[in-house]
Amino acid sequence: MGGGIKVHGVPISTATMRVLATLYEKGLDFELVPVDMKAGAHKQEPLISLNPFGQIPALLDGDLTLFESRAITEYIADEYNNKGEKLLCQSCKKLKAITKVWLQVEGQQFDPIASKLAFERVFKGMLGMTTDPAAVEDLEAKLVKVLDIYEARLSKSPFLAGDCFTLADLHHLPIIYYLMGTDSKKLFESRPKVSEWIKKITARPSWVKVLNLQKQ
């Protein structure tokens, strides 16, 4: 495929951050095309043709157009398997299957709670809205149950799928990053294995590069 990789998005968007981290892990060159969310550019051309749901990010790789961040990261991991970090272990079907289990756990068990908590704790403030303490309390109580399962899993291996960093770990980075800047960080820090895991994954050079993009 020719034409290079383009990502339409913004580096404060959790979904865009997920894709950017994957591209950096693979050491791929790409162009980040900013989307003016305040002006509603995500609901207008050209983005609406790239993602009919009017959301970010969208990825162009030559003549291929993709949306939905988790689908994009899996495509990158598969298509560019021989570059950079493996992320999806193609050579071991068992490890790949376990990785996919934890990809589903992130999408189905962790994110629905954690993203709502981040909305209350972080994004409401950005939007000039007021945090709902009752919602925070309810969401934290639910997240604790999920994190207890993570603590048990991470007591058996340093990363979610086993001994190596995979997409399953990477997908957690954006929401964890935002929650670690709030009082909800206590939920993660009070669980030794979860806390150790977070220190490892947030220290990755690829993630540091994503955060540096926010400062530009």
Instruction: Report the 3 state secondary structure along 6-31.
Output: EEEECCCCHHHHHHHHHHHHHCCCEE
Omega prior to 174 cis, within 30 of 0: no
pLDDT reported for residue 1 = 41
pLDDT reported for residue 92 = 84
pLDDT reported for residue 127 = 87
How long a stretch of residues is the chain? 216
- pLDDT more than 70, % of the chain: 94
| Range in 38-42, 133-137, 194-198 the model is least confident about | 38-42
pLDDT reported for residue 3 = 63
CA distance 62 to 3: 5
CA distance 46 to 51: 9
What are residue 32's DSSP bridge partners? 7
DSSP 120-137: IIIIHHHTTPPP-HHHHH
- Residue 203 tokens read as 């220290």
Nearest to 88 by CA among 20, 170, 28: 170
pLDDT reported for residue 52 = 80
Per-residue pLDDT reduced to its tens digit, 102-118: 999 999 999 999 999 99
Q: How far apart are the first and last CA of the chain?
A: 30
| Range in 2-11, 120-129, 138-147 the model is least confident about | 2-11
CA distance 212 to 216: 7
Q: How confident is the model at residue 53 (pLDDT cuts 50, 70, 90)?
A: confident
CB atoms within 10 A of CB 59: 27
Q: What is the mean pLDDT of the chain?
A: 93
pLDDT reported for residue 136 = 98
* Comparison of pLDDT for 27 and 55, the residue scoring more: 27
Does position 91 have pLDDT exceeding 80, yes or no? no
30-39, 120-129, 132-141: which is most confident: 132-141
In this prediction, residues 129-149 reach a mean pLDDT of 97
Domains of the chain: 5-84 (3.40.30.10), 93-208 (1.20.1050.10)
Taking the CA atoms of residue 90, residue 95, residue 96 and residue 97 in that order, the dihedral angle to the nearest 10 degrees is 150
Query: What's the count of helices (H) and strands (E) in the chain, helices before strands?
Result: 12, 4
CA distance 32 to 8: 6
Per-residue pLDDT reduced to its tens digit, 2-43: 469 999 999 999 999 999 999 999 999 999 999 866 666 566
Does position 59 have pLDDT exceeding 50, yes or no? yes
Half-sphere exposure of residue 164, counting CA atoms within 13 Å on the CB side? 12
Residue 216 corresponds to which amino acid? Answer: Q
pLDDT reported for residue 2 = 46
- Residue 79 tokens read as 């298509």
